Structure 1
């Protein structure tokens, strides 16, 4: 592939709060060669001058469910679909995510390992979707949260180890466990633990022996505490929900911070006229905000993600709305919010050496938006162009 020079008005590199003015990003063979501010271009470079836009790294959504259709009843709709129909939904969600500037996704719960059938396609055809990391069916108890995806197992450390080995043998990229119940599954409760610390430790040990990271769905404080004690690599949600609210446990917060475990804050949602958050979540929102403020104050990395697919406010392109929510709800600076969907998210997914930044040697995944998200993150959904592995796909 010939050298490509992408020009814009300004650039957020995924790290610095100070934009690069009048940048040129030089790309060859899907990788970034250099980032320049002004100056001459190589004579043999093809130039893509995008005009009055801001360039950013392609977004990284660390928590998606491509198999869910973001309808009012995603579980029921999936139950009615055979595998080929489910794959149609997954492909459409992948294309929608890519068109919004999400160039990397981590699927944390499919049905029957369907996402493995999609994973290699975007490598051969960058326009087919983002780079895909997959967990397969999440490991849960027999009738636990999301059991209907096929990851229900028996109790005890050996049963958990066997489930992890099966996932590893199938070729997953990450192990996902449900340490607590969840809002999507009748008969479970978000604050109630499903596995004990011995089982979670067995999962983490076996995953690490297989060379895989492990991330854990955990809402309730005891489930979060057990996940930290087990040595997991990441915690999804981390809301510290109780039976009737949410309240962070200072000792557990301190343990998370000491271990350097990032929290996947699945806060991103796409506003839809006439559609509100679930009443229980809306009622708890002030308490959840307080929890995340305490997590942030402790220095715990917050990764903004979407949990896409689980309802009408969570379509596959919801992530771009997350940074503005973090600024408005948590009072973070725009640059910090943008890092949470670029470099911080990439690092949490184990891709910090190649994704989430615009820098020499990184993959040429770029998003161009109208406006300046470093001053107004609400500009992030105003997509002007998307590049995946150096190919313009929008």
Structure 2
């Protein structure tokens, strides 16, 4: 049994400290004010913040962050995709991302990676895997292999994915930005089709995540009863729609909206770059209206989106959208875990939770950029970084 003593902790909702986080057998057994202890080995971490491992609710671990995702998948066999996924999983974990929901991979790649990492928690985060995303023939991300021409095909594919062990079903309610010929503002499925997906998945106890950019797709996903709406950007052919009534519907529904933020400096997708100021204002409107927003990344889809970019998303939410740092952190810890229905095992620093922890250099309440300075990462109590600071 050991205690990590820090000047501060973030428990998933608020800052506390000074604090002792007591760990035994890969679990947190106590979070309490620092005090004298005779029966515990105390590791004095100094002026740091301890927080629950980050939860990235939207990644693509087997994607290579290139400008040509279609070409990457065309030229790579499943073993190459799996090896890239292993590499990206390690990168995510070293940044403090201890849980990843993979929302689009070919075949069994993400499922096989998930199973590998269960046996070797020091090599990557906990993975919730969707497998290939349901889409129309030739539609967004058709190259993942789950094209569905009608409702029967959608329901049948849901059944096959559930039988394969998928943790979540991903469906493309609209087109997207990385598939040639696909338009993000246009709906791909109607309410009836999406509702059939939801009923089939929920009947098997599996949630549904709907990719939706344009407002028609957002409305269809909302009315179909999906569990999370990904992106929710309100894209039009040439901008971002201003739709306060739809934003209020989202807030009233309590549906989780997964914002895919976090971008490194450099060229970004032209459709995003052209809309960036309007997108920031849109995100602010969603948050101010009380929509249950989660902070994630869409890591893998291009060069500005590596798999360790979630901490950058936190700082950009604070600096660009004016989100308070505690709120930004909650959006990728406790609230993200709630959106993924894993709040009892992730996202909070509390007794009984797995010891999936991130320790950063400095006080996050005073310096949000401290989240970019990991000095200790633990996955089920296993130290991940080569030279943890003690």
Q: Is the 8 A contact 1:139 1:151 kept in 2?
A: yes
Aligned partner of 2:350 in structure 1 is 359
Q: Equivalent residue for 2:388?
A: none
Q: Per-residue displacement from partner, 1:250-280 (whole Å, max 9, x unpaired)?
A: 3322221121011110011233xxx222233
Report whether the alignment pairs 1:114 with 2:109: yes
Q: In structure 2, how many angstroms separate the alpha carbons of the residues matched to 1:379 and 1:139?
A: 38
1:219 to 191, 213, 217: 213
How far apart are the structure 2 equivalents of 1:117 and 1:279? 34
Give 1:47-58 correspondences, 5 Å limit. 47-58=42-53
Aligned residue pair count: 385
SS, match of residue 139 in structure 2: coil
Q: Which residue of 2 aligns with 1:70?
A: 65
Q: How far, CA to CA, are the matches of 2:62 and 2:355 in structure 1?
A: 27
The equivalent of 1:136 in structure 2 is 131
2: distance between equivalents of 1:121 and 1:25?
29
- Structure 2 spans left out of the alignment, 5+ residues: 386-390
Pick aligned residue for 1:186 from 180, 187, 190: 180
Give matches, 1:1-394, under 5 Å. Answer: 3-16=1-14, 19-43=15-39, 45-155=40-150, 157-271=151-265, 275-394=266-385
TM-score w.r.t. the length of structure 1 is 0.95
1:97-139 C-alpha deviation (Å, 9 max, x unpaired): 0000000000000011211111122222211100000000001
Distance apart, 1:53 and its partner CA = 1.4
1:218–1:237 Cα contact (<8 Å) kept: yes
Shift of the alpha carbon at 1:289? 1.7
Tell me how large the CA RMSD over aligned residues is. 1.3
Q: After superposing the two structures, state which structure 1 stretch, 349-358 or 177-186, moved more.
A: 349-358
Distance 1:207 1:175 in 2: 7
Gaps (5+ residues) in structure 1? none
- Aligned partners of 2:73 and 2:143 also within 8 Å: no
User: Residue deviations 1:307-327, cap 9 Å, x none?
Assistant: 000111101101110111111
CA deviations on 1:31-67 (whole Å, 9 max, x unpaired) are 2111121112252x34333222111110000000011
Deviation at 1:392, TM superposition (A): 1.3
Distance 2:245 2:226 in 1: 17
Contact (CA 8 Å) 2:56, 2:97: kept in 1 or not?
yes
Q: TM-score, normalised by structure 2?
A: 0.96
- For 2:277 and 2:331, the matched residues in 1 are separated by 21
> Take 1:114 and 1:91, find their aligned partners in 2: how far apart are those partners?
10
Question: Within 2, Cα distance between the matches of 1:74 and 1:9?
Answer: 43
Given that residues 177 and 271 in structure 2 are in contact (C-alpha distance below 8 angstroms), is that contact kept between their aligned partners in structure 1? no
Task: Say which is worse superposed, 206-215 or 293-302, in terms of deviation.
Answer: 293-302
Is the partner of 2:42 in helix, strand or coil? strand
CA separation in 2, counterparts of 1:198 and 1:250?
A: 25
Deviations, residues 322-341 of structure 1 (Å, cap 9, x unaligned): 11111122211111011111
In 2, Cα distance between the equivalents of 1:248 and 1:105?
31
| Structure 1 runs of 4+ with >4 Å offset | none
8 Å CA contact 1:121–1:128 kept in 2: the answer is no
